[in-house]
Amino acid sequence: MPKALISVYDKSGLVEFAGGLVSLGWELLASGGTAKLLLQNNLKVTEVADYTGSPEILGGRVKTLHPAIHGGILARNTPEDFAQLKSLGWAPIDLVVVNLYPFEATITKPDVNLADAIEQIDIGGVALIRAAAKNNDRVTLVCDPKDYPSVLQKLKAGSLDQTVRSHLAIKGFRLTSHYDQAIANYLEGKGAESLTLYPVQSLRYGENPHQSAALLSYTEGGTPLGGQVLHGKELSYNNMLDLDAAWRAVVSFKNNSIVIVKHLSPCGMASADDQLKAYQDALASDPVSAYGGIIAANRIIETATAQAISDLFVECVIAPGFEEEALTILGKKKNLRLVQMPDLEVEPKVEYRSIIRGLLRQEVDFGDKTQENWKVVTVAQPTAAEMASMKFAWTACQHVKSNSIVFAQGEATVGIGGGQPNRVDCVRIAKQRAGDRSVGAVMASDAFFPFPDSVEEAARFGIKAIVQPGGSVRDQESIDLCNQKGISMVFTGYRHFRH
């Protein structure tokens, strides 16, 4: 009769799983609290203390740390190892079901102290995971309750083979690695931060064909951006970069919005009550650059919008959903990737960037949504319409590479300039995109003007209102020039560099 050792903190789904094992002829061996739960549910189980002849000691700190347990797990599939176990009165253990004390959940509590945290450092559970994972040639490790149904199904089908055991073992080693890193970070005063990555898929190549690439996820079983690819070719490395940029931008707007991105640069952003109009306005911002781009919507793609999109060559469309007819229309384009997102969240709330021999981490810039610190610094006061347009442009410019400049009419970009080493060139690029639409537009800048030359250019192009962080030692020169030209200017007090 095969033997399963069960010792878990998180008991969700356990009774059903253990019951399934019993029905398949398995013998259950469990530690104190786990054994009590199984007995309460009328499942036959032997307590670890009875099996080893050693009681739990030190208030439960030592339960499974015994040669009868670890010998049963680590015994190789050889006559010699089995004979030695038998001579000692012990038996092989074939399945180990274990999960760990909630150390990370504990240290995130506001009133936690060091003693509380230390008590949640699991010792026996980690040892069980490592032992079972090491001996996965014979032993199956289950360290995640989400795996109970699939493991039980494979046992019933007789398909729980070495490939499955190896996969579960790797999952166990990842878990203990992450767990130990969280403990080390906490004790070093770095909080709970640790970074564990799970492979999702290999990619055809990276930014260029000579570069190998892969997609990794922060969660086991992750998908591209956490969404679902409904249609089209496999996503490329560049597709996923552009999808990420487009999604971060579009969900920053509260109103019904469309964002179009090409090569990581937004080329059109618009909000409107009507989704089709938002798409048309975003496309009009820079129709040349939109060709072959990525389209993001923060509402379900409607049929009329899908029909309009189908007239343009685009690589991907990402949205929280698609109307049935919209999906049919876009599905006729064989290679068009359609990605459905589960929500409008940007997760995690921190972002990492690779540098030589290291990583940089920072909180995600979610903007200054309250806009409580905005201050009109010029004689000219912006109209209500100009203020609304500046609020839109200010949000839009946060998603353009610095030095970011956005021209907007209403709630739509008409010219975008960014990614240049000086700000005045970005103003000129925005003008080039906008053409005559710069006249009467508002302008947003992600950072202050070190010189008034950008304001001089904006005045020459017909800009009527400017929103920028302020904070330059030459702010007064820009204010004076706006006063001369009759331009209103608002300081936000926030900077939004994006490198």
- The residues, any chain, with a CB within 8 Å of residue 349's CB and separated by 6 or more, are 363, 364
Looking at the fold, whether 148 and 16 belong to one and the same domain comes out as: yes
Looking at the fold, whether 273 and 386 belong to one and the same domain comes out as: no
Q: What is the pLDDT of residues 75-94, one digit of tens each?
A: 898 989 888 888 888 889 99
Q: How far is CA 22 from the centre of its chain?
A: 39
Strand partners, 262: 265
Average pLDDT over every residue of 93-121:
85
Strand partners, 352: 361
CB atoms near residue 135 (< 10 Å):
22
CA distance 463 to 449: 15
Side chain identity at residue 391, one-letter code: K
Highest mean pLDDT of the ranges 39-43, 80-84, 101-105, 139-143 = 139-143
Looking at residue 270, which CATH number applies to its domain?
3.40.140.20
21 lies in which domain range?
Answer: 3-187
Question: pLDDT grade, residue 193 (50/70/90)?
Answer: low
At residue 194, the pLDDT reads 60
196 domain-assigned: no
At residue 427, the pLDDT reads 97
The enclosing H or E element of 142 equals strand 140-142
- 134, 178, 277, 333: which one is catalytic? 134
At residue 368, the pLDDT reads 84
SS3 57: strand
Burial track 286-303 (b if 16+ CB lie within 10 A, e otherwise): beebbeebbbbbbbebbb
DSSP label at residue 254: S
At residue 101, the pLDDT reads 85
Looking at the fold, whether 174 and 307 belong to one and the same domain comes out as: no
| Domain final residue pick, 315, 340, 365 | 340
- 3, 154, 178, 263: which one is catalytic? 263
- Does the pLDDT value for residue 381 go beyond 80? yes
Average pLDDT over every residue of 453-458:
96
Looking at the fold, whether 181 and 36 belong to one and the same domain comes out as: yes
Looking at the fold, whether 252 and 178 belong to one and the same domain comes out as: no
Side chain identity at residue 462, one-letter code: G
CB atoms near residue 12 (< 10 Å):
12
| Residue predicted with more confidence, 85 or 293 | 293
- The residues, any chain, with a CB within 8 Å of residue 382's CB and separated by 6 or more, are 376, 390, 442, 465, 488, 490
Looking at residue 62, which CATH number applies to its domain?
3.40.50.1380
Question: pLDDT grade, residue 122 (50/70/90)?
Answer: confident
Looking at the fold, whether 174 and 262 belong to one and the same domain comes out as: no
214 domain-assigned: no
Would you say 482 and 380 are in contact if contact means Cβ atoms under 8 Å apart?
yes
Q: What is the pLDDT of residues 412-427, one digit of tens each?
A: 999 999 999 999 999 9
Q: What is the pLDDT of residues 153-168, one digit of tens each?
A: 999 888 888 899 999 9
pTM score of the predicted model: 0.74
Looking at the fold, whether 17 and 143 belong to one and the same domain comes out as: yes
Within 22-122, strands assigned E span 27-30, 46-47, 95-98
- Does the pLDDT value for residue 309 go beyond 90? yes
Q: What is the pLDDT of residues 233-282, one digit of tens each?
A: 999 999 999 999 999 999 999 999 999 999 999 999 999 999 999 999 99
Looking at the fold, whether 244 and 126 belong to one and the same domain comes out as: no
100 domain-assigned: yes
How many Cα atoms occupy the beta-carbon half-sphere of 118 within 13 Å?
4
Q: Which residue has the tokens 């331009």?
A: 487
Question: pLDDT grade, residue 113 (50/70/90)?
Answer: confident
At residue 456, the pLDDT reads 96
SS3 245: helix
Looking at the fold, whether 176 and 49 belong to one and the same domain comes out as: yes
Q: What percent of the chain has pLDDT over 90?
A: 65
Question: pLDDT grade, residue 208 (50/70/90)?
Answer: very high
Average pLDDT over every residue of 310-315:
96
Within 167-291, strands assigned E span 198-203, 213-217, 228-231, 257-262, 265-271
At residue 53, the pLDDT reads 78
At residue 181, the pLDDT reads 85
95 domain-assigned: yes
How many Cα atoms occupy the beta-carbon half-sphere of 284 within 13 Å?
18
Looking at the fold, whether 155 and 241 belong to one and the same domain comes out as: no
- Does the pLDDT value for residue 66 go beyond 90? no
| Helix, strand, coil content of the chain in percent (nearest 5) | 40, 20, 40
At residue 90, the pLDDT reads 85
Report the number of distinct structural domains present in the chain. 3
| Domain final residue pick, 340, 365, 400 | 340
Q: What is the pLDDT of residues 390-402, one digit of tens each?
A: 999 999 999 999 9
| Residue predicted with more confidence, 271 or 10 | 271
Looking at the fold, whether 31 and 119 belong to one and the same domain comes out as: yes
Whole-number average pLDDT of the chain = 91
Q: What is the pLDDT of residues 321-355, one digit of tens each?
A: 999 999 999 999 999 999 999 999 998 888 889 99
Please confirm, yes or no, whether 263 is among the known catalytic residues. yes
Would you say 4 and 97 are in contact if contact means Cβ atoms under 8 Å apart?
yes
At residue 52, the pLDDT reads 80
CA distance 409 to 389: 7
Would you say 35 and 20 are in contact if contact means Cβ atoms under 8 Å apart?
no
363 domain-assigned: no
- Does the pLDDT value for residue 191 go beyond 60? no
Question: pLDDT grade, residue 459 (50/70/90)?
Answer: very high
Rounded to 5 degrees, what are φ and ψ at 293?
-95, -165
Looking at the fold, whether 330 and 440 belong to one and the same domain comes out as: no
Kind of pairing between the strands at 257-262 and 337-340:
unpaired
CA distance 63 to 32: 8
221 domain-assigned: no
Average pLDDT over every residue of 182-205:
79
255 domain-assigned: yes
CA distance 74 to 5: 13
Q: How far is CA 46 from the centre of its chain?
A: 43
362 domain-assigned: no
Please confirm, yes or no, whether 134 is among the known catalytic residues. yes
